[in-house]
Amino acid sequence: MPAALVKTFGASMGAGERGSRVTRGAGGEGRFKGACGVFTCLLLLACEPEVPAHDSPEDAQSPQVVLPAPEEPRPVPSEPSPTEPSPVPQPPVPSGRSWYVSTKGSDGGAGTLEAPLRTIGRAAALAKPGEIIRVLPGVYPEELVLESRGSGVAPITLRGEGSPRPTLVPKDRVRGAVLRVQGRWNLENLLIDVGGAGMFAVLFDATASQSILSGSELKGGTAGAGVCVEGARDITVRNNHIHHFIKPGDDSHGVAVVGPARNIVVRDNDIHHNSGDSIQCQPGSGPADGVLIEGNTLHDEGENGVDIKQCLRVTVRDNVISGFPNTAIRQAGSSAGEAVVIHAAARDIIIQGNSISRAGRGVSVLDGGTPPENIVVEGNLFQDIRNVPAGNGQGIRIEGARNVRVVGNTVEATASYGLMLAADGRSVTGLEVRSNVLRGGSQSLLLRLGAAGHRPGLLMRENQYANGGVLKGDGANFPGEQLTLTSPEKLEVWRQVLGVDTGSSVLK
C-alpha cells in the first residue's frame, strides 16, 4: 500500500482540480442610460472621467442584467456554521521503563544506558505500552514499522536524546516510509533525512490512532509528501520543521491528510520549500473529517499553502502563509499559487485570523463541478497578492459555492481585485460580505462583483473602501461598469445601481 500511495500522490491533483485561471467569453459593455430626479444626479457623478482600470488578462465584461432593488437589511443566513474538529487529548507522561539505543550498542544488550541496544527496530520490538525508547545521537539506517500493541493501551514513546539529535535515514529504500506508524506512538525530537528516496518520512496508516509527531525535523524525500496521515484518527503533527520534499515536476506536500482520516491537528510547524503544497487535505476511500491547521508558518512552496478538496470540517486559523508559487522549485502554471484553495465539494471550512502575503491568490473558493459549502473567511490580513502566474492577483476570489461568509478581512496591495465575488460565470448562493477593509494595490482594484444572476441571496454591507479605489459590477448600469471612488457620493452611485452595500463607507 505505501508504494501505491507514493504513486497516487503524483497524479492526485489533475488540472481540473487546481486553482487555475477561469476564462470567460466576452460580453457587452454596460452603457449609461438617462434617468430623472435624484437618481439622475447620482448617475451624473459616474460620468466624471474615470481612471482606467484593467482586469487580469482573462477578465471580460459580463452581459447586462436587470438591476436589483436596493438592498434591505436582512438577518444573517440561518444555514449552519462550520464546526471545528474535536481536540486531540494530550498524551500521558511515559511511566514505564526506558530502552536506550546507541550506535555503540548491541542488539544483544539489556537496553539500559550502560548496555544500550544497537537498533531502534530492536527496541521497538521489545517496548511495551507506556514505555519510552531513548535514541542517543548518531545515524540510524533503518526503515521501521512501529506496530500496534492493541486498542486502548498507553502510547510508546520514541524520543531522540542529546545534541545533535539522532538521525534516521533509509536503509534499503524498499518501504514506503522511513517510519510507518500503526497503533499509538509518540515520536519526539528526531531528524529524519530521506536522502532523495521516493519515500515518506513518516506515514500514519489507517490503524494509527492518538499518535503524535513533535519537535522533529523531516527533509529530503521525493515521494508525494513528507508526512502522510492516511485514514488515521486522532493524530497530532506539531512543532516540526518539514522542508525540501521535492518531486521534480510534480507534487510533494509537506503534510498530506488523506481521508477517511479523522480529527487531525497540524499545529505550530514550519513547512516550506516543497514542490507541492505545505498542507493538502484530500479524499481517499472517503473524505477527511475534522482537521485543525493552526499556528503554522507555511511558506515558499512550489504550489499552494493549504489545499482543501473534498474534506469536511477543516479550520485554518492563525497561520502565517506566504510565498506561492516558488518558481525556483516549480515552474509557474501548475497552480494559481494560492495561500488557501477550497474546492472539490469541501464543506464546513473556516479560514480565520491568518496573515497571508506574497501569493498568486489569497483565498480561492472554486466550484470544480460540485461547489464547496458553508465557508467562512473571517478576520484575515491579505497583503502583496501578486499577478503570478499571470491572470491572478486577487485577495479573495469566490468562484462558485453555497453559503459563504466573507467578514472582517483586511485586503491591501493586490495586483488585481481585493475581492472578486461571483464574477466567473458560476453561481455563489447565500453570500455574505460584511465589515471588510479594502485598500487596493498598484491599480487600486478593490472589488469586482458578478452579475445579479450569479449571486442570489447576496447580503453585502458595512465594508470600507479606499478613496481612489475601483469598484466594478458586471452588468451594472454605469459607464464601463466600474466606478472610481473619489467621494462618498460615488459610493452612493454604487449602492443605488447595484442595490448592495448598505452602511459601507469610503476610507479617509
On the question of pLDDT at 3 being above 60, the answer is: no
Is omega for the bond preceding 389 within 30 degrees of 0, making it cis? Answer: yes
pLDDT at 55: 47
Closest CA to 392 of 418, 415, 411: 415
Mean pLDDT of 81-98: 67
What is the reported pLDDT for 347?
97
CB 414 within 8 A of CB 438: no
Confidence of residue 22 (pLDDT cuts 50, 70, 90): very low
Phi/psi at 50 (5° precision): -100, 150
In eight-state DSSP terms, residue 482 is E
DSSP 47-62: TSPPPP----TT--PP
pLDDT in tens, 449-508: 999 999 999 999 999 999 999 999 998 888 778 999 999 999 999 999 999 999 999 998
- Residue 221: the pLDDT is 97
Q: What is the pLDDT of residue 109?
A: 97
Residue 96's pLDDT is 86
In 3D, which of 396, 331, 419, 342 has the Cα closest to residue 374?
342
Residue 380's alpha-carbon distances to 279, 293, 317, 319, 406, in angstroms, are 18, 15, 9, 10, 10
Q: Residue 355, SS3?
A: strand
Q: Where are the domains of the chain?
A: 63-92+336-508
Q: What is the pLDDT of residues 323-341, one digit of tens each?
A: 999 999 998 778 899 999 9
For position 46, what pLDDT does the model report? Answer: 41
Helix, strand, coil percent content, the chain, rounded in steps of 5: 10, 40, 55
What pLDDT score does 480 carry?
A: 77
What does the alpha-carbon distance between residue 4 and residue 406 come to, in Å, rounded to a whole number?
39
Q: What is the pTM of this model?
A: 0.86
Collapse the DSSP code of 24 into the 3-class scheme (helix H, G, I; strand E, B; otherwise coil) and give the result: coil
Please state whether beta strands 200-208 and 177-183 pair in parallel, antiparallel, or not at all (unpaired): parallel
Q: In this predicted model, what pLDDT tens digit does every residue of 197-223 receive, in sequence order? A: 999 999 999 999 999 999 999 999 999
Q: Which of 406, 391, 401 is nearest to 360 (CA)?
A: 391
Grid cell 440561518 is found at 78
Give me the percent of the chain exceeding a pLDDT of 90. Answer: 75
- For residue 175, the one-letter residue type is R
Concatenate the DSSP letters of all residues of 441-472 into one string. -TT-EEEEE--GGG-TT-EEES-EEETT-EEE
Give the CA count within 13 Å in the CB-facing half-sphere of 357. 9
SS3 289: strand
Kindly report the backbone phi and psi dihedral angles of residue 108, in degrees, each rounded to the nearest multiple of 5, phi listed first.
-95, 0
- Higher pLDDT: 93 or 43? It is 93
